[in-house]
Structure 1
Amino acid sequence: MHKPDPIGEIDLAAYVDDQLDAERRVEVEAWLAANPQAAANVMADLRARDALRLLAADRAPVPGRLAAVAGRLDRALSRRAMWSLAPRTALAASAVALVSLLGVELAGGLTSPAEAAPRYVAEAAMAHRVALVRAGMASQPEVATLDAAEMQRVTGLVMPKLPAGWRVLDAQLFPSDDGPSLQMTVDRGDGEPVSLFAVRARTGAPENPLVVRDGKEAVAYWQEGEMALALTGDEPEAELDAVAGALARSTAG
């Protein structure tokens, strides 16, 4: 019986770019079914690929979205080892050309359109707004204590460890499409509260935070294992992206 060759980065990149024959594609899909984190990353890359193809067909919406799609796809391609070994495909070249045309800086966290983000991002933004309303109501006392062990035992939610100097002002459970979610209002020591939102879901969110704008709030969202996380605040996107990046790095693994 034929034993499939090991699945590597080259196979995943070829899968995303429709470069595999039917037999190898089935083998890759079987491997992805047993590796959910890799599958989530590949799904995100497939969405970026399809968005870029819509752009090439002149059916994509506005320039702001084009920049986000191009940046997301370029970061996805940069993860694949094959691009250092072989020429890029026409799709990859299109992404690079588009990035150059729009002058998008790829080194940091790009702002992408909120409507292209996972659905929990909108829930995180709404939870942040509700928390601000609660903070101004005498009849709605804040809950500043959080038993992380109890929260994990009862709901399955695992919150990242907060950096030194961060103080929880309020913690509330919210319903979401993916089950119970937790919103924490946090003081980082600068007087500007931010909300940390967590829900147990596989969303296809990136491991490194990506920032979107939802109304006046900026939301940085990312995935840590089985937890989908979002940091929301009324502050510049670049600043929130830096804070979320530091939080994600401190809790990774």
Structure 2
Amino acid sequence: MTDSRIPVTEDELHAWVDNELPAERRGDVEAWLATHPDDAERVQSWRAMAEMLHARYDQVADESVPRRLEIERLVRQPRKWMAGAIAATLLAFIAGGGAGWMARGVSAKPAAFQNLTLDALDAHKLYVVEVRHPVEVPGSERAHLQQWLTKRCGWEVRAPVLEATGLKLVGGRLLPGPSGPASFLMYEGPTGERFTLYTSRAKPDTAQMRYTAAENSGAMYWSEAGVGYVLSGPGDKDRLSQVARLVYDQTEKAGG
């Protein structure tokens, strides 16, 4: 007998999608999904991403999946809910990519963008809610901000002009990145929506844009000349893609 009132964990949802859930628990999870449409929608999106992944890469990927990405191993590790979320994020990135964006050079290994993007989303969620102190250097000092971040980070940091998308530069700050310093720029629209651009060293390069979503936020990732870019903002993928294209057009000229 199943009972939809029995709480279902994040790990169990991932295990259900991957057909690794114990048989005695499947009925409970299915009953839960029948009465929790938000979780059912998430599960469906994960399954769709997995199918897209297999359709795109099964014929060209001869190597087996790294053991660190096996769901069974992740489930056994501490803080299992985080491991499951990372696995879902990886699927979203690998299966994603904006229309018309073609990869130039080698594709990024999962770890190359996983840590960078998680750090960028964490910073985005932390600072976009700040009212008085969202940045260290205000947008009115754009030239100084770019010069300061360029000196500290070691590559040319540009604060793109995004007025064409209705976004104005709020300012920026210096943050620690996965492999050194990271630059963090914030933009704001007339309705209060905020976007952030996080950059840090990242290899290998992948000019193909990749998309992921977490809670109410979304992010577009790409890298050029050894520098990774993560544009984070509201979860509207079309809006993110619009802003990301304008950012890309300006930052790719920086070289790195």
- Taking structure 2 as the reference length, the TM-score comes to 0.52
- Matched letter for residue 239 of structure 1: R
Deviations 1:71-130 (A, max 9, x none): 764xxxxxxxxxxxxxxxx8159xxxxxxxxxx9987279xxxx8852100111011111
Q: Which residue in 2 is equivalent to 1:108?
A: 99
Which aligned pairs between 1:15-164 and structure 2 lie closer than 5 A?
62-70=46-54, 73=57, 91-92=59-60, 108=99, 117-133=113-129, 135-137=130-132, 143-144=137-138, 145-146=141-142, 147=144, 148-164=146-162
CA contact (8 A) 1:142 1:169 kept: no
Q: Which residue in 1 is equivalent to 2:243?
A: 243
Instruction: Tell me the CA shift for residue 231 of structure 1.
Output: 0.5
**SS of residue in 2 equivalent to 1:245:** helix
Instruction: Tell me the CA shift for residue 236 of structure 1.
Output: 0.7
Unaligned runs of at least 5 residues, structure 2:
1-18, 21-42, 62-94, 102-109
- Matched letter for residue 209 of structure 1: M
**SS of residue in 2 equivalent to 1:120:** helix
- Matched letter for residue 118 of structure 1: Q
Give the whole-Å Cα distance in 2 for the aligned partners of 1:107 and 1:217: 17
C-alpha RMSD of the superposition:
3.6
**SS of residue in 2 equivalent to 1:162:** coil
Q: Which residue in 2 is equivalent to 1:176?
A: 177
Q: Which residue in 1 is equivalent to 2:81?
A: none
CA contact (8 A) 2:186 2:196 kept: yes
Task: Assess, with a 3 A threshold, how the Cα gap between structure 1 residues 71 and 142 changes in structure 2: closer, same or farther.
Answer: farther
Instruction: Tell me the CA shift for residue 179 of structure 1.
Output: 0.9
**SS of residue in 1 equivalent to 2:222:** strand
Instruction: Tell me the CA shift for residue 159 of structure 1.
Output: 2.5
**SS of residue in 1 equivalent to 2:180:** coil
- Taking structure 1 as the reference length, the TM-score comes to 0.53
Give the whole-Å Cα distance in 2 for the aligned partners of 1:118 and 1:105: 14
**SS of residue in 2 equivalent to 1:122:** helix
Q: Which residue in 2 is equivalent to 1:84?
A: none
Instruction: Tell me the CA shift for residue 63 of structure 1.
Output: 1.8
Which piece of structure 1 moves more, 118-127 or 188-197? 188-197
Instruction: Tell me the CA shift for residue 239 of structure 1.
Output: 1.8
Give the whole-Å Cα distance in 1 for the aligned partners of 2:150 and 2:193: 28
CA contact (8 A) 1:194 1:231 kept: yes
Instruction: Tell me the CA shift for residue 246 of structure 1.
Output: 3.0
Unaligned runs of at least 5 residues, structure 1:
1-57, 74-89, 94-103
CA contact (8 A) 1:157 1:181 kept: no
**SS of residue in 2 equivalent to 1:252:** helix
